[in-house]
Amino acid sequence: MEQISGLLYGFSVALTWSNLLFCFLGALVGTLVGVLPGLGPAATVALLLPLTFKLEPVSAIIMLAGIFYGAMYGGSTTSILLNIPGEAASVVTCIDGYQMARKGRPGPALAIAAIGSFIAGTVGVIGLNFLAPPLADFAVRFGPPEYFTLTLFGLFLAAYLASTSMVKGLIMVCLGLLLDMIGIDPIAGIPRFSFGILPLQEGLDFVPLAMGLFGITEILINTERAMKTELVTSKVGRIWLSMQDWTEAKWAAIRGSVIGFFVGLLPGGGAVIGSMISYAVEKRVSKHPEKFGQGAIEGVAGPEAANNSAATGSFIPLLTLGIPGNPTIAMIFAALMIHGVTPGPLLIVEKPEIFWGVVASMYIGNGVLLLLNLPLVGIWVQVLRVPYFILAPFVVLLCIVGVYSTRTNVFDIWVMIVFGIIGYIFRKLAFEPGPLLLAFVLGTISERAFRQSLLMSKGSPLIFFERPVSAALMILLLVLVGTQIIFLLRRKTQSINRFRGGG
C-alpha cells in the first residue's frame, strides 16, 4: 500500500540523528511555550523562523511542527494549575481542569490531559497519513479557477470562524489582502501602493509582519496584564488515573480526537474551535451535565484531545493544497517557501522526504511529548515561577535579531515595531490578527489564480461556475454568505420588534 511504504520511507528520514534531535527540540520548546502563559505557538514559530534558515528543509519543518503540537500539549499545565491558558486552544481546559486542581486532583487532571493529547495526536497522524495522499492526487487536477474559489472559501471561513464578529473578521481579511498588494504587480510588473518608498516596492515581508502582530503584540498585552497569579499547588502528587477516571474519560478523548481532526481541516477552524465544539458535545452527551464546570474529567479529556488532533489535521490542507488554515500553519507555510519548497499537491511526488519525514516525525514526537509531560510535570510547575519581566526583554531581543537576519534590512525592524503597535490596538478593540495574516498569505495565491482564470476565459467570470469543483465551492460559498445575511437581517428585525414592544 502506498501510504505504508511512504510512511516507512518517512521513518528512515525522521530516525536520523539530526532529525530526531530537531524533533525533540521542537517538542521541548513547544511544551515550554505552552506552559509559559503569554507565548502562543504562532508567536514562537514566528520568533524561531529565522533560526531555521540554515537547516535542511525537512529538519526545519520537523522542528516547527514539533513546536506547534507541543504547545497544544503544554498549554494544559497552566490551564489546570493557574487557570490561565498557556495558549488559546487551552481556554476550555481551564473550566474543569482548574476546578479539579482546586479539589486536590491536579494529578489526574494533568494525566488525562497528556493521555488524551497522546490519543488525539495518534488519531490525527493516522488521519494525516491515510487522507493526505488521496487528497493530493485529487488536487493535482486543480487549475486556477479551483484555486481561486478554494482560497476565497478559505478566507470566508477564516473570517467566520476565527472571530467573534463576522464584520470584524471580514475587515481583517480585507486589510490582509490590501497589505499583500503592496509591491510589484505580479502580472503587469508595476509598483502598487509603494508611495515612492523604495523598500515597499519589494512588498511587505511575512516574517516582520508575523513577528509584529504576534510576537511584539503578545509582549505588550502580557506586560499590561502583569500576570499576577498563584499556583493552586506547588506539589502535584500522583500523576496517574484511577480505573474510574479512565472509564469516565476514554470516550470523551476519542470523540474529541475525531471532532478536532475534522475541524482542523477547515481554514480558520483549528484547535480553538475544535476544543469548544468538543466541550459542548461532551456536556450534551453526558448523563450528568451538572458536573461540568465543577471538575468533570470529561471536560478536560475532550477539549485537550480536540485541540491536539486539530493541530495535526490542519497540516492536511497545507501539505496537499498549499492552503494554510491558521496563523501557526501560515508560519510553517512561509518556512517551506523560504526553503524553496512549494506546498501543494505535487509535494508528495517532488519532495517525498519532506512530506513523509514530517508525518513520521509526528508519530515519534507524540511519544516524546507523553514522556515530557507526565514524568517531568514537576519541572514545568517550577518553570511557571519565571517572572515575566525576565522573559519579555529576551523575547523582544529574539524578535529584533530574527527580523534583521531575514533580509539584513533595518526597514523590516520598523515594520515589525509598527505592526506590533497596530496589533496591540487591534487586540484592545477585539480584532483578531489571525484572519489578517491568513489573508496576507492567501492573497498572492488568490490574486494570481483569479487573474489567470480571467485570462483563460477572456474576461468571463462564468469560468468559476463551468468547472465542477470550482462551481461546487462557489455555490457553497454563496449559500453560506446568503445564510449569514438572512440570519443578520432576522436578528435585526427581532431587535426592532423587541424595541417597539418595549416602547
The full set of domain ranges for the chain reads 2-148+202-393
State the first-to-last Cα distance of the chain, in angstroms, to the nearest integer.
70
CB atoms within 10 A of CB 480: 14
Lowest mean pLDDT among 80-84, 160-164, 190-194, 409-413: 160-164
In the predicted model, is pLDDT for residue 503 greater than 70? Answer: no
Is the distance from CB of 72 to CB of 113 less than 8 angstroms?
no
Which residue is associated with the grid cell 490551564? Answer: 79
| Distance from C-alpha of 294 to C-alpha of 346, rounded to nearest angstrom | 49
Cell of 77: 499545565
Amino acid at 474: M
Residue 169's pLDDT is what?
A: 81
> How many residues belong to the chain?
503
By CB atoms closer than 10 A (0-12, 13-18, 19+), residue 55 is middle
Between 385 and 483, whose confidence is greater? 483
451-462 burial, b at 16+ Cβ within 10 Å, e below that, comes to bbbbeeeeeeee
| Distance from C-alpha of 447 to C-alpha of 180, rounded to nearest angstrom | 10
Q: What residues form DSSP beta bridges with 183?
A: 192
Q: Is the dihedral of CA 455, 461, 467, 471 positive or negative?
A: positive
- Residue 332: name the closest of 309, 355, 366, 363 by CA: 355
Which residue is associated with the grid cell 479539579? Answer: 100
Stretch 479-502: mean pLDDT:
76
The band of 279, judged by pLDDT with boundaries at 50, 70 and 90, is confident
User: Where does 241-346 have alpha helices with state H?
Assistant: 243-264, 270-285, 298-313, 315-321, 327-338
pTM of the model: 0.77
By CB atoms closer than 10 A (0-12, 13-18, 19+), residue 446 is buried
83: DSSP letter: S
In the predicted model, is pLDDT for residue 272 greater than 60? Answer: yes
Stretch 131-147: mean pLDDT:
80
Residue 428's pLDDT is what?
A: 86
Residue 342's pLDDT is what?
A: 83
| Distance from C-alpha of 134 to C-alpha of 282, rounded to nearest angstrom | 32
Contacts for 413 with CB less than 8 Å, ≥ 6 apart: 208, 400, 403, 404
Lowest mean pLDDT among 136-145, 376-385, 409-418: 376-385
Lowest mean pLDDT among 36-40, 78-82, 362-366, 487-491: 36-40
Residue 87's pLDDT is what?
A: 62
| Helix axis angle, 91-102 to 270-285, nearest 10° | 50
The band of 462, judged by pLDDT with boundaries at 50, 70 and 90, is confident
| Distance from C-alpha of 66 to C-alpha of 44, rounded to nearest angstrom | 12
Stretch 136-159: mean pLDDT:
80
Is the distance from CB of 252 to CB of 305 less than 8 angstroms?
yes
Q: What residues form DSSP beta bridges with 184?
A: 191
Is the distance from CB of 80 to CB of 91 less than 8 angstroms?
no
Residue 237's pLDDT is what?
A: 56
Rg (CA), the chain: 23
By CB atoms closer than 10 A (0-12, 13-18, 19+), residue 231 is middle
By CB atoms closer than 10 A (0-12, 13-18, 19+), residue 400 is middle
| Distance from C-alpha of 166 to C-alpha of 150, rounded to nearest angstrom | 19
- Residue 202: name the closest of 409, 47, 420 by CA: 409
Contacts for 303 with CB less than 8 Å, ≥ 6 apart: 90, 92, 93, 256, 275, 276, 278, 279
| Distance from C-alpha of 392 to C-alpha of 218, rounded to nearest angstrom | 9
In the predicted model, is pLDDT for residue 43 greater than 80? Answer: no
Between 500 and 438, whose confidence is greater? 438
Q: What residues form DSSP beta bridges with 192?
A: 183
Cell of 366: 507524540
Q: What dihedral angle (degrees, nearest 10) is formed by the CA atoms of 58, 62, 68, 74?
A: -170
